[in-house]
Amino acid sequence: MEATVLYNVPHEIPWQVYIPLYFYFTGLSAGSFILSTLSTVFGIKRFKPMALPAAIISFLLLLLAPVCLILDLYQPSRFWHTLVPEYFNRMSALSFGSWLLTIYPIANLIYIYYIFVHNDRVTRVLGMITVPLAIFVHAYTGFAFALVRARAWWHSALMPGFFLTSALLSGIALLVVVALLMDRFRQDKLDEELYTSLRLMMVGILVTDLFWNGSFWLTLFVSTADGYASVWYALHEKLYVYGEIGAGMLVPLAILILPWTKQNRTWLCVASLLIIGGVFLMRYSVVFIGYEIPLS
Q: What Å distances lie between residue 149 and 23, 45, 145, 242, CA to CA?
A: 20, 44, 9, 28
Q: Does 248 bind another protein (CB under 8 A)?
A: no
**What gap in Å lies between CA 54 and CA 112, rounded to an integer?**
10
**What gap in Å lies between CA 33 and CA 40, rounded to an integer?**
11
Q: What Å distances lie between residue 220 and 206, 214, 292, CA to CA?
A: 21, 10, 16
- Say if residues 14 and 104 touch (Cβ distance below 8 Å): no
- Considering only residues 9-48, where is the footprint of another protein by CB under 8 A? 9-17
H-run or E-run covering 122: helix 120-146
**What gap in Å lies between CA 132 and CA 33, rounded to an integer?**
11
- Considering only residues 51-70, where is the footprint of another protein by CB under 8 A? 69
Q: In this chain, which of 94, 178, 190, 269 binds another protein, going by CB under 8 A?
A: 94
**What gap in Å lies between CA 148 and CA 230, rounded to an integer?**
15
- Considering only residues 138-177, where is the footprint of another protein by CB under 8 A? 144, 147-151, 154
Q: Whole-number minimum distance, CB 16 to another protein, in Å?
A: 4
Whichever of 11 and 45 has its CB closer to another protein, that residue is 11
Whichever of 9 and 45 has its CB closer to another protein, that residue is 9
- Say if residues 12 and 291 touch (Cβ distance below 8 Å): no
Whichever of 193 and 225 has its CB closer to another protein, that residue is 225
- Say if residues 105 and 25 touch (Cβ distance below 8 Å): no
Q: Does 188 bind another protein (CB under 8 A)?
A: no
Burial class (CB in 10 A: 0-12, 13-18, 19+), 161: middle
User: Kindly report the CA angle at 251 between 248 and 252, in degrees rounded to 5?
Assistant: 75
Candidate segments 33-41, 79-87, 210-218, 249-257, binder of another protein by CB under 8 A:
79-87
Q: In this chain, which of 45, 85, 91, 266 binds another protein, going by CB under 8 A?
A: 91
Q: Does 222 bind another protein (CB under 8 A)?
A: no
Q: In this chain, which of 53, 125, 226, 257 binds another protein, going by CB under 8 A?
A: 226
Q: In this chain, which of 85, 188, 225, 260 binds another protein, going by CB under 8 A?
A: 225
Q: Does 208 bind another protein (CB under 8 A)?
A: no
Binding-site size for another protein (CB under 8 A) equals 58
Q: Does 295 bind another protein (CB under 8 A)?
A: yes
Binding interface with another protein (CB under 8 A):
1-17, 69, 72-75, 78-79, 81-82, 84, 87-89, 91-95, 97-98, 144, 147-151, 154, 225-226, 229, 232-233, 236, 288, 290-296
